[in-house]
Amino acid sequence: MKVVIQRVTKASVTIEGEKVASITNGLLVLLGIVDDDTQEDINWLSNKIVNLRIFEDDHQVMNKSLFDINGDIIVVSQFTLHAATKKGNRPSYIKAAKPDVAIPLYEAFVKTLEAGLGKTVQTGEFGADMKVELLNDGPVTIIIDSKNKE
């Protein structure tokens, strides 16, 4: 399970002209899932995200978490995070999990984040053509792969 986390002052997801998610002050999380991801990956990654100290304190030091700032999260499914680009110029997405595997893991990830954060997490729509708009704060962008946790 791989995520790209962006600290944002605002972010939104629009599908077919309708805004389906919108936050201010929090994290936009792009989530890529592979076939061998498990609930263990979800638990570890969710805990890491909600406790990640990447928001500035009064001294402009990144020392606060989502809890500290009462921040929000938008999660967007992003199979292209697992693109293989070694051979040729057309990315291969063979490593990305197919919907029958990915959707239940995506939904479990969102529920686990909600439990850890103690509030609703907004989402895009799995497999939809989404327009994601954000104002990256910093900019702060962090990539985490649950397969590299040790």
pLDDT > 90? residue 150: no
Name, in order, each residue with C-beta under 8 angstroms of 71's C-beta and a sequence gap of 6 or more.
Answer: 25, 26, 27, 55
d(C-alpha 5, C-alpha 26), whole Å? 10
If pLDDT is split at 50, 70 and 90, which confidence band does 149 have? confident
Pairing label, strands 62-64, 122-123: unpaired
For 3-12, write each residue's pLDDT tens digit. Answer: 999 999 999 9
Which residues are known to be catalytic? 78-80
Per-residue pLDDT tens for 58-76?
999 999 999 999 999 999 9
Residue range 114-127: average pLDDT? 95
- Could you tell me the domains of the chain? 2-148 (3.50.80.10)
Q: pTM for this one? A: 0.95
Task: Summarize pLDDT for 126-144 with one digit per residue, the tens.
Answer: 999 999 999 999 999 999 9
Query: Cβ(112)–Cβ(46) under 8 Å?
Result: yes
Distance CA 27, CA 70 (A): 11
